[in-house]
Amino acid sequence: MPTRKKFVAGNWKMNTTLAEAKALGAAVAKGVTDDRVTVAVFPPYPWLTAVGETLKGSPVALGAQDVSSEKKGAFTGEVSPAMLLETGCKYALIGHSERRHIIGESETFINHKVHTALEEGLSVVLCMGETLAERERGLQERVFQRQVYAACAGLTDEQFGRIVIAYEPVWAIGTGKVATPEQAQEAHAFVRSKLRQLYGDKIADSTPIVYGGSVTPDNTVGLMSQPDVDGALVGGASLKADSFLAIVKAAG
């Protein structure tokens, strides 16, 4: 059995004031005392540097919720991978369903972002998942296949080594409706089988595939008990240090 280290990340989305972000970063840093689980937080862009300061000396990594598909230049409002690296970010979240479905990011655009971020030295948390309508029509595996192939097209093995995949069923995000451990396992195993076809055993066995969508301290243990569930991407429950730390603990 391959052993993959668990990865738990908190996506703060468009929440927190500066003071709240600093307090949350400091509390998470204080609560994570070992590196049994890889832990990362994804604050809003303007708070990255300040939250990064609170994480200094702790094993908690910093990530950004998005990144530009371009390296530099006349792209008003965009933030480049190099800028994120300079704020102390290790990770960028790419392809979150709120960006796919609310902002309208396409598969091609997501693939472009993944390439730019990896070329510039970031690691990527790549999100994918089906909508409720797609699941009701039994299309989820077709959707995963399309999303994996499109997002990862053209990556080298070395680049793939810096990817974490987050399976996030859209119907479970922010709804309180969590996927059952069996549903999560089925999806993760299918995604891993696609990685095996595309990249071979080594990449398929070493890539973390984490679950996201209404993760709480209460449902973490059940989800983590599944062989292909390697951690969690947490939204709402990451906004309180206590619940986020309880999820980290339950994942370890």
User: Judged by CB under 6 A, does residue 63 bind ligand PGA?
Assistant: no
- Nearest-approach distance from CB 241 to ligand PGA, in angstroms: 15
Q: Is 20 among the residues known to form the active site? A: no
- Nearest-approach distance from CB 89 to ligand PGA, in angstroms: 17
Comparing CB distances to ligand PGA, the nearer of 155 and 172 is 172
With CB atoms as reference, the residue minimizing the distance to ligand PGA is 235
Within the chain, residue ranges assigned H as helices are 18-31, 48-55, 81-87, 97, 107-119, 132-136, 140-152, 157-160, 181-199, 201-206, 217-224, 241-251
Pick the binder of ligand PGA from 66, 120, 168, 230 (CB under 6 A). Answer: 168
Q: How many residues in total does the chain contain?
A: 252
Q: What are phi and psi of 123, to 5 degrees?
A: -95, 155
CB contact at 8 A, 59 and 32: yes
CB contact at 8 A, 126 and 86: no
Pick the binder of ligand PGA from 6, 7, 8, 11 (CB under 6 A). Answer: 11
- Nearest-approach distance from CB 156 to ligand PGA, in angstroms: 27
User: Judged by CB under 6 A, does residue 174 bind ligand PGA?
Assistant: yes
**Sites for ligand PGA among residues 224-243 (CB under 6 A):** 233-237
Strand partners, 11: 42
Question: Out of 96, 115, 120, 130, which one is annotated catalytic?
Answer: 96
Half-sphere exposure of 58 (CA within 13 A, CB side): 23
- How many of the other CB atoms lie within 10 Å of CB of 34? 7
Which residue do the tokens 């997002």 mark?
Answer: 151
State how far the Cα of 182 lies from the Cα of 210, in Å rounded to an integer.
14
- How many of the other CB atoms lie within 10 Å of CB of 74? 6
User: Judged by CB under 6 A, does residue 250 bind ligand PGA?
Assistant: no
CB contact at 8 A, 41 and 9: yes
Comparing CB distances to ligand PGA, the nearer of 100 and 115 is 100
Q: Is 115 among the residues known to form the active site? A: no
* Total residues at interface with ligand PGA (CB under 6 A): 13
- Nearest-approach distance from CB 97 to ligand PGA, in angstroms: 7
Binding flags for ligand PGA, 185-224, as an x/- string (CB under 6 A): ---------------------------xxxx---------
Question: Out of 98, 130, 134, 168, which one is annotated catalytic?
Answer: 168
Active site residues: 96, 168
**Residues near ligand PGA, by CB under 6 A:** 11, 168, 173-174, 212-215, 233-237
